[in-house]
A and B are shown apart, each in its own frame.
Chain A
């Protein structure tokens, strides 16, 4: 009896896994078959046509190294969006880490008045929906000249990212012992050397998780980019949304695969660090 129950248990897990992976399977079938008509479950023929139409793979006959380079150099929309998403993500991640580092150190190591209040203010953007601030901010950005450009989009991405980076890094500093720094200083190391040789190695693992996470939040931002970018800054989520609304499944699937690739990669590398106690995990719900 107990054995049967165990078996049912395990089959239920397998079933759950299959159901969970169904959308991913559908993405790949759609992306690599251009004419996948109902009621076929497995497409009759595989095709790269979606990728050709997105100008990511050259037409048959031109699939040489030069062919690829030439095609990508013609700056197709997907490549442009990909580069925008990547560069905005990198820039915002680096800036947020630099800004958060001193704040997290202070919050993690020192005790002072209003600390709880400051943490509460710091995390408030994680609870209230983005639509609550971005509509008002949009008007301000227009009058400040930040609307419709790259800089404005980077700036607005800092709002959802800042709380998680500060929170995750505060957690790192709460378990960090600054006495090692004093030792290094008494032994004659200057401030830069102390930071590079003592502080940085100690906080690096946590910092990498915070950085990957910050990148992912920026990477998947739709509403903020759409409103502040005013249609002039094209990123991958915007492309996925507009293609999905126009309803071509093959093109949507192909762009989506490019879009989710870094996400899966990041999960793969961070799965060790991701646990319920980490401040970063709570942010995953918001991507």
Chain B
């Protein structure tokens, strides 16, 4: 028994060591710095002034709260829309039809695509001189590039949302396809024979069955889009600015005092994501208990 215990400890130590020193160590040290503890520039006091500055000082408050608003809007909108598109895509694509394999491949194509490339692709397609604007001008809808709506680098974060929809819809799609495949069509056929129409079959049969997987995938997507840097850095504007971009810019600021503020922001992002995940676990646990 003792041998087994030693084996467990020895096997688990290397990966745990990496996660504790690099991941939790990084968060802990970032937290210390956000409290103003910066031995590198001779600051040893501990206080919450960086948090106060970021959230309430006249200089940053507007930037922070508008950024937080944009973060919530972008994450909610892109998670919801990507899930909806993927759901309809997955339901439609189950039937056999011409070129189904190719369609299936195209629908999963964005899955391994790095976010960075998807963001560049969105610029190529949706910018004012992009592919869509060119097509629109060919069929006479618009004249000059300026007539095409600003969808990339816009203040509502539309370009960012588009990029996340593109990328995460594939993720939802794969998950939904495998759930639907494992369910088969028996439930639906049963419902149909009992007289349920299309909408009823969707609302009362399919949706409840795929909901648990859809929901946990949504949490992953939401958490990711809330804290990711590349897409908003490429497709966003200076104001309003999403929080990860703001944190990173504070951090790169030559003024070393801004570093604490950057760290404070990254800790705030982490706390919001953590609250969300805890809320999710609480919700699913409560549901399991109820069932």
A residues with a Cβ closer than 8 A to B are 6, 9-10, 12-14, 16-17, 20-27, 29-30, 38-41, 99-100, 102-103, 105-107, 110, 112, 118, 121-122, 124-137, 139-140, 155-156, 158-159, 162-163, 166, 216, 219-220, 222-223, 237, 240-241, 244-245, 249, 252-253, 256, 259-260, 263-264, 266-267, 271, 274-277, 281-282, 284-287
Contacts and interface: CB of A to CB of B under 8 A. Distances in A.
Given A30-B124, A129-B270, A132-B269, A25 B131 contact: yes
Interface in B226-281: 226-230, 233-234, 244, 247-248, 251, 262-263, 266-267, 269-270, 273-274, 277
A206 to B, nearest CB: 16
B234 A139 contact: no
A93 to B, nearest CB: 14
22 contacts: A6-B95, A10-B95, A23-B125, A24-B121, A38-B129, A41-B131, A103-B16, A126-B220, A127-B220, A128-B227, A129-B227, A130-B227, A133-B24, A135-B262, A140-B29, A166-B15, A222-B230, A244-B123, A267-B108, A276-B174, A282-B217, A285-B220
Given A27-B124, A129-B227, 12 more contacts: A12-B92, A13-B93, A13-B103, A110-B8, A131-B244, A132-B30, A133-B27, A253-B120, A263-B113, A263-B114, A267-B111, A286-B220
B87 interface: no
Interface in B148-207: 166-168, 170-171, 174-179
A106 B6 CA distance: 11
Contacts of B251: 135
Across the A-B interface, give the 7 residue pairs with the lowest CB-CB distance, nearest first. Answer: A129-B227, A23-B121, A136-B30, A137-B26, A133-B26, A220-B114, A276-B178
B211 interface: no
A223 B119 CA distance: 15
Interface of B: 4-5, 7-8, 10-12, 14-16, 18-20, 22-33, 40, 85, 88-89, 92-93, 95, 97-99, 102-103, 105-125, 129-135, 137-138, 145, 166-168, 170-171, 174-179, 213, 217, 220-221, 223-224, 226-230, 233-234, 244, 247-248, 251, 262-263, 266-267, 269-270, 273-274, 277
A277 B277 CA distance: 20
Contacts of A27: 120-121, 124
Contacts of B270: 128-129, 132
Contacts of B166: 20, 23
A253 B107 CA distance: 21
A279 to B, nearest CB: 12
Given A135-B30, A162-B18, A127 B111 contact: no
Nearest to A260: B117
Interface of A (DSSP majority class): helix
Given A14-B103, A162-B19, A267-B112, A132 B27 contact: yes
Contacts of A263: 112-114
Contact of A133 (B10, B30, B110, B229): B30
Given A20-B106, A132-B270, A136-B29, A159 B18 contact: yes
Contacts of B230: 222-223, 241
Contacts of B108: 267, 271, 274
Given A112-B8, A287-B112, A159 B120 contact: no
A275 B108 CA distance: 11
B223 A264 contact: no
A118 B11 CA distance: 12
Given A220-B115, A264-B109, A245 B234 contact: yes
Contact of A106 (B11, B174, B247): B11
